[in-house]
Chain A
Amino acid sequence: MIAQAIFIIILGLAVFLFAKNVGKIRRNILLGKDTDRSDNPALRWKVMAKVALGQTKMVKRPVAAIMHFFIYVGFVIINLEVLEIMIDGIFGSHRIFSQPLGSLYGLLIGAFELLAVLVLTACVVFLCRRNVVHLKRFSGVEMTSWPKSDANYILITEILLMTAFLTMNAADYKLQLLHFEHYVKAGSFPVASLIAPILPDGAGALVVVERVCWWFHIIGILAFLNYLPYSKHFHILLAFPNTYYSNLNNKGKFTNMASVTNEVKAMLDPSFVPENTGEPARFGVKDVTDLSWKNLMEAYTCTECGRCTSVCPANITGKLLSPRKIMMDTRDRVTEVGNNLDKYGKDHDDGKTLLDNYITREELWACTTCNACAEACPVNINPVEIITEMRRYIVMEESQAPASLNNMFGNVENNGAPWKYSQADRFNWAENK
C-alpha cells in the first residue's frame, strides 16, 4: 500500500512538472511571429510520416542511421513495457499482462530484451564516437561543455535504464525458477536468463535486486522525462510537429515580405492604398521575438547532430558560420527571453539581442544560401531562413551591409545589374562575337 502511494505521488509529480515545462516551451515558441502553416494537411501528414516516423533523411549516413534506428525503435517499443510498469505500480500488481497475454507475453518480453541489447550497443557505439573516436561533427565552437555533457548524459542514462531493465528481468526470471511467491513463469527471457547466473541465489536477495531495479528503472524514466525539456533530447517529441509544419515550398524560394510589398507598391504607384496588414515592429530579425514561431520550434527541435554544419561550404572552408550554432543560439536566446518573462514580467529589457550578443555579423555574411544545411537536417530545420531574416534587419533597418554589397545594391538600383555597366549596353552581347 505504501509503495503504491509513493509510486502514485512520484508519477503525479513527474507528469505535473513535465507538463509545466512543456507549457513553458510552448509559450516560448509562441513568442514568435505568426506564420501560416495550416495549408495542405494531407501532404504535411505525409512529410511527417516519412521524415519523422520513417526517418528517411537519416539514411544519408548509414552507420548513424542504423544505430539511431535501434534506439528509436527500442524507445518506442519498450514503452509498452513501461505501460505495464505503470499499472503494476498503481495497483500493486506484478506483471499484470502476463496472465491475459499468455505465451504472447513471453514473446513480447523476449523482443523487449533483444531491443534493449540493441539500444545498449548503439549507446555504447555513440559514446565511443563522441568521446573516443572524436568524430569531427561533434566538435566546433558551439559544442561547449554543456552540449557535450548533455549528449553524454542522455547516452549514459539510456545505458543505465536498459541495464536496470535487464537486471530486473534476470532477478525476476530467477525468482520464477524458484517458484517464489507471486513470481510466476512469464516467458523465456532470452537475455535476462544469460545474466541470471551472476545474480545471488537466495530468494530474499533476488527480491531486493528485482525491486531496486524496478524502482530505479521507472524513477529513471520519469526523471529522464523531466530532463527532456532542458535537453537536446527534446527532439524525440518535437520532431513530429516540426516536420508536420515543414516548409513545403522549393528550398530556393524565399518569402516575399508583405510589409515591403505595400511600401514598394505605394512608391511605384502613388494612387495605391495599402491594406492594413498591421505594421511590423521592424524589418527583418534582430531578436528572437522577430522570428516566426516555426523558427523557434526548429530551435527547440534541433538535436545538435551537426549534419548541417558538416556540409556547410562556409564552415568546411574555415569560416565562422555554423548552421548548428545558429539554431543553438536561437534556442538559448529564446529560453533566456522566456526566463526573463517569468522573472521580471512583460516589459523587461535585458539589453541583449540575438544579433551581436549571440550571432555575429561575420557569421551571417558567410552564408552562400546554398541550402545544404536545410537539405541535410533529418528533421527539416531551416537555418537559412534565420540567416536571411537577420541580414534583412542589418540591411533595411541599419544600412550596415558590407561596403561591397552596398556597391552591388547601388549598381542594381541604378543600372539594373550588380556590376557597374550601363543599362544601355545590356544587349551588346548580341554584337560581340
Chain B
Amino acid sequence: MQALYAQLLVGLINGSFYALLSLGLAVIFGMLNIINFAHGALYMMGAFVAYFLLNLGGINYWWALIIAPVVVGIFGMILERTMLQWLAGLDHLYGLLLTFGIALIVQGVFQNYFGSSGLPYSIPDQLKGGVNLGFMFLPIYRGWVVVFSLVVCLATWFLIEKTQLGAYLRAATENPTLVRAFGINVPRMITLTYGLGVGLAALAGVLSAPINQVRPLMGADLIIVVFAVVVIGGMGSIMGSIITGFALGVIEGLTKYFYPEASNTVVFVLMVVVLLVKPTGLTGRAA
C-alpha cells in the first residue's frame, strides 16, 4: 500500500509536464487553430536556454525559470510573425505540416551542435536532497515541480477565464472580425498568445532540465504522448487539459507499478478506449 502512495505521487510529477504542455497546446489551438507540432522542440529549447544561462552566463536556475520562457516565447512570436500568420484561412493541416518542419529544423540544428547524448544540468542547491515521507523518499526537487506547475497552470486558467484580457482572447477566438471592430488589435493578440503557449512549453523544459539530461530530442517523443493526452481531453477547455494532464500522469504512474511493460503505451491505449466510447473526447466539444 505504501508503494502505491509513492507511485501516485510520482505519477503527479509526470502529470505536471503533460499538463503544462497540453495547456500550451490548448491555448495556441484556441487562438490560432493550429496544432503546434513544434511544441516539443520549443520545450527542448527551454531546457537548453537554462543550460546556456548557467554555463555561459553563470545565471542560476531561478532566473532561468523567468528568462528561458521569455526568450523562447520571443522566438515563438518571431515564428508566428514570419511564418504561421501566412497560414490564416488555409486548411488546418498546413499548420501541422509547417510546425512539424520547424520542429525538424530546430531539433536538427541542436543535434548538430550538441550531439545526441545530452548535457548535464544539476539541481539548484536550495532544492537538493529529499525528505522521508514515511512511505517514500521524496526528492525535494520533485515536490517543487508538482507544486510549481500546479500554480502556473491555475494562473494561466485564471488569466484566460477570469480576466479582461482573457475575455478578449476568448471573444477573438469566437469572432475575430467583431473583436477587431471593437478596436482591439487581433493579430497582435494572436502573436502574444502563441508566445504565451510556447513560453509554457519552455517553462516545462526548464523544470525538466535537472531531472533529465538536456538532449536535443527530449521533446520529440514526449510531444506524441501529449497529442494523445490532448485527444483524450479535447482542446475545448483550459481546465479540461490541466486535469487530463495530471490524471494521465497518475494513471501512467500506476501502470509503472502494476504492469511496467505497458507504461509507455497506456496513454495511447486509453486514447483508443476514449475514442471508442466517447468519440468527442472527455471534455466534450468536437473539432
Partners in one complex: no
Residues of B within 8 A of A (CB): none
